[in-house]
Amino acid sequence: MDTTLQDPLVGQVLDGRYRVEARIAVGGMATVYRAVDTRLDRVLALKVMHPTLAADGSFVERFIREAKSVARLAHPNVVQVFDQGADGSYVYLAMEYIAGCTLRDVLRERGALQPRAALDILEPMLAALGGAHRAGFVHRDMKPENVLIGDDGRVKVADFGLVRSVDTVTSTTGTVLGTVAYLAPEQIEHGTADPRVDVYACGVMLYEMLTGGKPHHGDSPAQILYKHVHEDVPPPSASVPGLAYELDELVAAATARTPGIRPYDAVALLARLREARAALSDEQLDAVPPQALSTEHGNAEDRTSVIPRSLTVPRPLPVNEEERHHTSRLASPAPLPPRRRPLPRRGVVSLVAALLVVLGLVAGVWYINSGQFTQVPPVLAKTEEQARARLSDAGLEVGEVRQAYSDTVRRGLVIGTDPAPGARIRDNDSVTLTVSRGPETVRVPALRGEKVADAKRTLKNEGLEPGMVTREFSDEVPRGEVLRTDPEGGVELRAGTAIAIVVSKGGPVDVPDVVGEDLADARAELLEAGLKVEVASAQINSEHEKGQVALQSPDSGGEAAEGDTVTLTLSKGPVMVEVPDVVGDSVDEAREKLEGAGFEVKEDRGLLDLFGDSVEGQSVPGGELAPKGSTITLDIG
């Protein structure tokens, strides 16, 4: 049975424009439909908030915020938002329609993916999120349902309904908004979110793509939340033996329970992904996974939910009573093997002597090859004090301590050693530590009044990236100069952050009406208004005489910036049409003939001819040429 037939919106036209054709998906806060924009005649996706939530101002605000946020993200891997509006109790977003499926559909059908396929999907996901993070937004609800895979193979991230500004402190006292299976520990414990919560969710999704199952399961949301806070995500190779070590490391980095150890944002994780991928062979990338793990644990953990904070308070898992009181039974004794005849005494002595020689040789080899050497213990992400203690326990000393900036490791933690962890080193030798100075911060320079090219150059010189450039009218700042930046000058940011630039279009100019004027007069009038003139190469027929302006773009009455260009299309003159001869015809017959030929008709009746019905004359004789659309006057008698 087609359930869409029961949906009251199917077949309706929202806002006088969007014809709803079919229901695509139902979520916790909204339903998505396939619809047609009747104005532009294009298929799109219509996301309609559940009417029960439309009365909640916070949810409506979130919807509107999604439209505005995604509209700023002009990224090929982000689902585009075209429009936002309301029709009665229905609040909607009109979005790009992607014909295809979701990553969740792929995982349900195929289970675990080959590493190459998993990375092929994750890479554009991170590119999309990286664009959002560098533009100042956090998604906060990354999950396979929000990753769309088009029939043409394109991967796009959707549903920025929980998006927040990076600079906004997102903390709640009573609830956590998100999807249980993908929530980062800090979201669960404190309700806070920055780009690293998206990094964590992507790490969980990578684990799921590589293994076919989620890393944490439980009988209730509370148990899953507890595990996110208190248990590391296991390495994928524990479930799929043979997976490359680099993939385990990538998942571990993204899902570190301490946010400071994770890559700072999706751009940093994307760099780690590409490094890991470059280290893998074709055989490792194309390794065929075993039968997929079961992912059927109910979809409650996959749905965006408002989760009571009482469920997110860490509490011990219940102890299985059966396991607590479990006692093992002794197995029946196995039959003893038959006794062998003992070796003669001389044979025993010879065997012992041989064993002593072998043990002596082994001990000597151990002393030569291992007794004087040890391995550099793992001290990455440890404090300098912890690293010194661990190195000391291994019989090693700390040599030079260097410092370096890091976007992914917080200040004071070790980001490198020389020799590297695991390397073979002589006892009592020294190890050089490199400690993170934290992310390099840069003060946004004051750029108001600078030319755009100079402003971009300044940002790069300061260690920042020029971001999106938009334009606004301004009576104060001359055209082409920077009006402001976002964030504004003086703000301290991480190096590499993108800075949006707003450029002045100058003061607004009223566009004069020059249609019907000669080209020379029209050009002079527009130049006097501070506008430039461009003449279209093609000409058109119009009611205006040849050489006069037939069309202008933009139209008169609108606003343009000083220096903007107005395009003029000149007239080729009117189309000349032969006038039908209608003298002697009835008025109705004459009107039909003339209007059919493209003319307007006017009747001229005297006082004595009010009831006449015969044409006695016409203003342009039949057989002559007249401009199409001109008026022919009939003399009625």
User: Do the strands 18-26 and 42-49 form a parallel or antiparallel pair, or are they unpaired?
Assistant: unpaired
The pLDDT assigned to 372 comes to 65
Asked which of 245-249, 348-352, 509-513 is least confident by mean pLDDT, the reply is: 348-352
CB 448 within 8 A of CB 483: yes
Percent of the chain topping pLDDT 90:
40
Verify cis geometry, omega within 30 degrees of 0, for the bond prior to 144: no
The pLDDT assigned to 483 comes to 94
Angle, helices 266-279 vs 115-134, to 10°: value is 150
- Mean pLDDT, the chain, as a whole number? 81
| Structure-model confidence comparison of residues 49 and 358, the more confident one | 49
pLDDT band at 337 (very low <50, low <70, confident <90, very high): very low
Asked which of 112-126, 153-167, 276-290 is least confident by mean pLDDT, the reply is: 153-167
The pLDDT assigned to 301 comes to 53
The pLDDT assigned to 407 comes to 65
Both structure tokens of 474: 């301004």
What's the whole-number mean pLDDT along residues 616-635?
Answer: 91
Where does 278-324 show beta strands of DSSP type E? Answer: 305-308
Alpha carbon distances (Å) from 88 to 28, 39, 43, 85: 21, 20, 23, 10
What's the whole-number mean pLDDT along residues 337-342?
Answer: 40
What is the C-alpha to C-alpha distance for residues 209 and 155, in angstroms, rounded to an integer? 15
Q: What are the extents of the domains in the chain?
A: 1-97, 102-315, 374-436, 441-504, 508-570, 576-636
pLDDT band at 617 (very low <50, low <70, confident <90, very high): very high
pLDDT band at 465 (very low <50, low <70, confident <90, very high): confident
Question: Domain 1-97, CATH 3.40.50.720 — does that match?
Answer: no
Burial class from Cβ neighbours inside 10 Å (0-12, 13-18, 19+) for residue 574 reads: middle
Residues facing residue 164 across a β-bridge: 138
The residues, any chain, with a CB within 8 Å of residue 420's CB and separated by 6 or more, are 376
What is the C-alpha to C-alpha distance for residues 464 and 604, in angstroms, rounded to an integer? 77
CATH says 374-436 is which class? alpha beta
Q: pLDDT, tens digit, for every residue of 352-375? A: 444 444 444 444 433 334 446 788
> Which range scores top for mean pLDDT: 53-67, 298-312, 367-381, 412-426?
412-426
Give yes or no for residue 522 having a pLDDT over 90. Answer: yes
Both structure tokens of 576: 């000349």
Both structure tokens of 158: 């959707």
The residues, any chain, with a CB within 8 Å of residue 537's CB and separated by 6 or more, are none
The pLDDT assigned to 136 comes to 82
Asked which of 210-219, 253-262, 366-375, 448-457 is least confident by mean pLDDT, the reply is: 366-375
CATH says 441-504 is which class? alpha beta
pLDDT band at 348 (very low <50, low <70, confident <90, very high): very low
Give yes or no for residue 271 having a pLDDT over 90. Answer: yes
Neighbours of 345 (CB within 10 A): 8
CB 54 within 8 A of CB 64: no
CATH says 576-636 is which class? alpha beta
CATH says 102-315 is which class? mainly alpha
If you search the block for the tokens 């010879």, which residue do you land on? Answer: 350
The pLDDT assigned to 66 comes to 63
Asked if 1-97 and 441-504 have one fold, the answer is no
The pLDDT assigned to 404 comes to 86
Classified by CATH at the fold level, domain 508-570 comes out as Trypsin Inhibitor V; Chain A (3.30.10)
What's the whole-number mean pLDDT along residues 453-473?
Answer: 88
Q: What is the DSSP string of 479-545?
A: TTBEEEEESPTT-EEETT-EEEEEEE--SEEEPP--TTSBHHHHHHHHHHTT-EEEE-S--B--SSP
CB 544 within 8 A of CB 575: no
Asked which of 122-126, 307-311, 540-544 is least confident by mean pLDDT, the reply is: 307-311
Give yes or no for residue 90 having a pLDDT over 80. Answer: yes
Asked which of 182-186, 238-242, 253-257, 403-407 is least confident by mean pLDDT, the reply is: 403-407
CB 93 within 8 A of CB 46: yes
What is the C-alpha to C-alpha distance for residues 166 and 188, in angstroms, rounded to an integer? 18
The pLDDT assigned to 185 comes to 92
The pLDDT assigned to 178 comes to 61
Catalytic center residues? 141
Both structure tokens of 283: 């055989």
What's the whole-number mean pLDDT along residues 77-87?
Answer: 87
Quote the pTM value: 0.48
> Which range scores top for mean pLDDT: 88-92, 136-140, 162-166, 209-213?
209-213
Q: pLDDT, tens digit, for every residue of 552-607? A: 988 887 778 888 899 999 998 888 899 999 999 999 999 999 999 989 999 888 76
Neighbours of 497 (CB within 10 A): 23
Give yes or no for residue 620 having a pLDDT over 60. Answer: yes
Q: What is the DSSP string of 46-79?
A: EEEE-HHHHT-HHHHHHHHHHHHHHHH---TTBP
